Chains A and B, each alone.
Chain A
Amino acid sequence: MKPARLLNEISLSLKYMSPGGMTVKHIYMDYNATTPLRPEALDALLPYLKEDFGNPSSVHWAGRAVSGAVEKAREQVARLINCSAAEIVFVSCGTEGDNFAIKGTAEALRAKGDHIITTTVEHPAVLASCQALEKQGFRVTYLDVDADGMLDLQALEQAIEEKTILISIMWGNNETGTVFPIEEVGHIARKYKVRFHTDAVQAAGKIPVDVQSANVDLLVLSGHKIGAPKGVGALYIRKGSRMVSLLHGGHQERNRRGGTHNVASIVAFGLACELAGAELEANYHRVKALRDRLERGILSSITEVKLNGHPEKRLPGTLNVSFSYIEGESLLLNLDMKGIAASSGSACTSGSLEPSHVMGAMGVDVALAHSSTRFSLGPDNTEEEIDYLLEILPPIVQRLREMSPLYNK
Chain B
Amino acid sequence: MDNLFIYILRIADCSLILGQRMSEWCSKGPTLEEDIALSNIGLDLFGQANGFYEYASKIDGNKSADELAFKRNEREFFNYQISEQKNGHFGTTMVRNFLRDAFKYLFYNELSKSKDETLAALASKSIKEVKYHLRHSSNWIIRLGDGTNESNEKVQKSLDFLWQFTGEFFEMDEIDNKMLQEGIGVDNKKLKNEWNKIIIDTLNKGKLNKPEDGYMASGSKKGIHTEHLGFLLAEMQYLPRAYPDAKW
* A, B co-complexed: no
Chain B residues within 8 Å of A, Cβ to Cβ: none
